Structure 1
Amino acid sequence: MKYTITTILLFLVVGTTWAQNKKWTLEECVTYAVENNLSVEQFELDLENAKIDKSDALGRLLPSLNSNLSVAGNTGLSFDPTTNQPVTTTILTANGGLTSSLTLFDGLRNINRLNRAKLNAIANDYRLENLKDDIRLNVAQAYLQILSNKEALEVSKAQYAVTQQDLERTKELVSSGVVPRGDLLELEATAANQEQQIVNNEGLVIISKINLAQLLQITDYENFDIADESFEIPPSDILNNGPKTIFAKALEFRNDIKFSESMMDLAEKDVELAKGAYYPTLSAFFNYNTRYSDQGGFDPATGNLVPAESFTNQLWINDGISYGAQMNIPIFNGWSTRNNVKRSEIGLEKAKVQLEQDKLALESTVNQAYVDVTTFRKSYEAAEKTLEARTLAYEYAKERFDVGLMNSFDFGQAQARVDDAAANVIRAKYEYIFRLKFLEFFFGIPITLD
């Protein structure tokens, strides 16, 4: 199929417009952040290194095999490698061989290195997943902050629109002499304050968008936006479980705890590796060598000079093998082995202490999250009641103001209290949603706003 330049340009324009108008959902933000975060890429590279270490450890269990080959020319006095006799002419020689060695026993250190490499790969995987968990929480919090700021902006615009209507009616009342001009000035001041609040809220929306875009490694801040959705508090029965139940559940799957446990396992392997140096090391070797020389020799029976054998014949005529075993027994090495064992044991104790500290920190976090959910739920319910009461008081004040029974200052105060109550409801709502999702996350429930 052939495409004209106009068609291609049309595709590019449509694609660019779509990218600029894309509205990101929470799920898309979380997925994109995990896949494109630079720290995640760094940890993934660390995981690849750990897998290479595992391959290195496996290679230590296998026999080594190396070959060597050398070709040399000598003029003057030298020794013929095939006869070991001195010669004083130009001689061309070649040597080659294969060498293989295998460690038969080294205090099980090679086995422990392999097991440690496997544990290290698992630990790096837990560390990577724990980082992804932190990113998911940070993205969810930043996403909810945008929703909160957007909703606050919409409320402030709606309140400003109502004030504008009151302002128009007050102008008519001032013109007819029903209310004094001071009331109009007071309302104008209230409208100006609300207009300033709109500007502030717009700034907060922009800043919160930039914060989320940075978490996603997106630099096109101007065109970045999230989906225009309104979320209510999702139903949840997480509070039916006590803090101890949630903590016990978190211990089963939390990657930070699994990482600490794997680090303790690594420390145990380090102790075993260090103790392996106390044992003798037994290894076996096998060598095959052959050589070539372009010099002939003398026939011992006739005393005549015999020309050199061909290259291929000399390879098997002059070859030889050697094999054997070698044992190294550690006797005294300046206490280095003993000190390494002690260091490893101290490292193991530190890993155990760190694991207990991480468990205590997790328990504290779960308890705090549980209290926060309970507290912010009550705070949200109280904020709703306050808004309801403030709204009724405002409506009553508005009726009195419209008939001239209330001055503009008192009416403005009633309106300001409604504005504050509405802002508190929005803030408490999204703080409660985040705390709720945060607590559910420790119970193994994925972060969604459904």
Structure 2
Amino acid sequence: PDLVDIALCRNPQTAVSWASVRAAAAQVGTAKAAGLPTANLSIGPVLSSSKSFQDTGFIDSNGNLVGGSSVLTQINSSARLAVNYLIFDGGGRRAAIDAATAQQRAALASYADAAQGVVLNVITAYNSLAANRAVEAANLANLSFATQSRELATGRKRAGVATGADQLQAETSFAQAQLTLIQTRGAIATAAGQLAVAIGLPPTQRLDLAPTAPLASGDLLKAGADALIADAERLRPDIAAARANVDAAAANVRSAQSLGRPSLSVNANNTVSAIDTTVDRNFASAGLSLSVPLFSGWNTRYQIAGARAQLEQQTALAEQTRQQAGLTVYSNYVALDNALSSLATARILVRSASLSADLAQGRYKAGVGTFADLLNAQSALASARQQLVQAEYNVRTGNAQLARAVGSIGEAVDAERR
């Protein structure tokens, strides 16, 4: 569970989804802002210069024209405050708010879905690392058995009661066990790196992990497939997101329909102008404005048709998501049930193979069995151990995958904490 907490805080996937939630929340604010009045203030000083000529000029004693023209320079300034409020727009603003709110719900559901995906990835990576470590323990046991068989074959060869072929087969089996152990340790290093990345850390980060928890008993299976599918339709965030997208598409249809309806707004403005520092004009006005769309080249008609098509698309996608969720739940239900049955059989197989290997080793030591029989029993034991590890991994991962398919993986993690 601590790994899950770290992953939810550090994994980039959750950060991306949360950013989408914040963006959707901002879109809701933008849609609501359209229902508020707008006010604009404009100020504009203007410097002007004019030159005029008059017929009253005369020529002075030096021959220069005096008084024939004049230059006027002045500063004109104006300030205008305009307030506008859209009273009625045929339901367009309400539809835009509904669409943005639905998209916000979809973003929140997508965030929850991403978080559940991160949790599943962490659990899967952790189980993979635990399984590889269990394989290492099994391979160490196989190597120990192969070592005993090699020593037994070498001793019988020295005693002259076994052939060189037995010793060579024993050496081959021992080397194969060593090679398998080396490969397993490489797989452990890779699995540890994958787990580190799953929780948002560098792949080289060393992790000190607690012992693996006992295997769960598959309590989810007790509910039955039908009940789990019904729970998935209620709990899965991707289904909730798909339904929210349907609501958003329906709101977009209403928004498109509002484009063909009249709109009514009220506006008021006050303009003050001055020359230099003297106010020479103060004008105020207020009024109602009715806008009736008459013809837009069938643009509104096409927008409504497009919005309705998108609504049909989102409705179909929601149904597809629901059906796929049911199939995913059922597939994981069957897989977990099969994994639990396989686990019980694998445990019996390991017990039988272990007894058979001990018996074959004893018979060879007593000289009444062949080394080929010992190798076959040794190989069967190694295979049984591998199958037991795989069966345990399948049960652990199957529990998590079924919980994820139902949409209750968070509850599964909380149950482990308790």
TM-score (norm 2): 0.90
The one of 229, 235, 239 aligned to 1:247 = 229
1:187 equivalent in structure 2: 170
Q: Structure 2: how far apart are the matches of 1:112 and 1:379?
A: 55
- 1:443 is displaced (CA, Å) by 6.1
Q: Structure 1: how far apart are the matches of 2:162 and 2:366?
A: 9
The one of 325, 333, 336 aligned to 1:373 = 336
1:124-135 paired onto structure 2 within 5 Å: 124-135=107-118
1:269 has 2:232 as partner? no
- 1:325 is displaced (CA, Å) by 1.2
User: Residue 228 and residue 164 in structure 1: after superposition, are their counterparts in 2 closer, same or farther (change >3 A)?
Assistant: farther
Task: Work out whether residues 13 and 118 of structure 2, in 8 Å CA contact, stay in contact via their aligned partners in 1.
Answer: no
The one of 413, 416, 425 aligned to 2:379 = 416
- 1:449 is displaced (CA, Å) by 5.2
Residue deviations 1:86-105, cap 9 Å, x none?
A: x9611211111211001011
1:321 equivalent in structure 2: 284
1:361 equivalent in structure 2: 324
2:238 equivalent in structure 1: 256
Percent identity over paired residues: 20
SS of residue matched to 2:72: coil
1:284 has 2:266 as partner? yes
Q: Structure 1: how far apart are the matches of 2:378 and 2:148?
A: 13
The one of 33, 38, 48 aligned to 1:59 = 33
1:43 has 2:9 as partner? no
Deviation larger for 360-369 or 203-212: 203-212
Task: Work out whether residues 237 and 407 of structure 2, in 8 Å CA contact, stay in contact via their aligned partners in 1.
Answer: no
- 1:39 is displaced (CA, Å) by 2.5
Task: Work out whether residues 6 and 200 of structure 2, in 8 Å CA contact, stay in contact via their aligned partners in 1.
Answer: no
Residue deviations 1:118-148, cap 9 Å, x none?
A: 2221111111111111111122111101111
RMSD: 1.9
- 1:36 is displaced (CA, Å) by 1.6
2:61 equivalent in structure 1: none
1:446 has 2:399 as partner? no
Q: Structure 2: how far apart are the matches of 1:123 and 1:228?
A: 37
TM-score (norm 1): 0.84
Task: Work out whether residues 275 and 337 of structure 1, in 8 Å CA contact, stay in contact via their aligned partners in 2.
Answer: yes
- 1:422 is displaced (CA, Å) by 0.6
The one of 390, 395, 402 aligned to 2:358 = 395
Q: Structure 2: how far apart are the matches of 1:102 and 1:174?
A: 103
User: Residue 106 and residue 433 in structure 1: after superposition, are their counterparts in 2 closer, same or farther (change >3 A)?
Assistant: same
The one of 202, 227, 230 aligned to 1:219 = 202
- The residue type paired with residue 120 of structure 1 is Q
Q: Structure 2: how far apart are the matches of 1:226 and 1:125?
A: 33
- 1:238 is displaced (CA, Å) by 1.7
- The residue type paired with residue 80 of structure 2 is G
Residue deviations 1:156-211, cap 9 Å, x none?
A: 01221232233234333322223333222211111111001101111111121222
- The residue type paired with residue 374 of structure 1 is D
- 1:245 is displaced (CA, Å) by 0.2
1:173 has 2:156 as partner? yes
Q: Structure 2: how far apart are the matches of 1:216 and 1:63?
A: 48
- The residue type paired with residue 424 of structure 1 is Q
Task: Work out whether residues 141 and 434 of structure 1, in 8 Å CA contact, stay in contact via their aligned partners in 2.
Answer: yes
User: Residue 112 and residue 35 in structure 1: after superposition, are their counterparts in 2 closer, same or farther (change >3 A)?
Assistant: same
Task: Work out whether residues 236 and 407 of structure 2, in 8 Å CA contact, stay in contact via their aligned partners in 1.
Answer: no
Q: Structure 2: how far apart are the matches of 1:405 and 1:44?
A: 70
Residue deviations 1:195-230, cap 9 Å, x none?
A: 011011111111212222222232242x42351514
The one of 293, 309, 314 aligned to 2:275 = 293
Q: Structure 2: how far apart are the matches of 1:195 and 1:355?
A: 53
Task: Work out whether residues 64 and 102 of structure 1, in 8 Å CA contact, stay in contact via their aligned partners in 2.
Answer: yes
The one of 232, 237, 250 aligned to 2:214 = 232
Task: Work out whether residues 284 and 324 of structure 1, in 8 Å CA contact, stay in contact via their aligned partners in 2.
Answer: yes
1:302 equivalent in structure 2: none
The one of 396, 407, 415 aligned to 1:433 = 396
Task: Work out whether residues 246 and 443 of structure 1, in 8 Å CA contact, stay in contact via their aligned partners in 2.
Answer: no
Deviation larger for 187-196 or 236-245: 236-245
1:10 equivalent in structure 2: none
Task: Work out whether residues 156 and 162 of structure 2, in 8 Å CA contact, stay in contact via their aligned partners in 1.
Answer: yes
Residue deviations 1:261-298, cap 9 Å, x none?
A: 0000000000000000111111111011111113xxxx
1:161 has 2:124 as partner? no
Q: Structure 1: how far apart are the matches of 2:208 and 2:325?
A: 32
The one of 342, 349, 354 aligned to 2:312 = 349
Matched pairs, number: 396
Gaps of 5+ in 2: 53-69
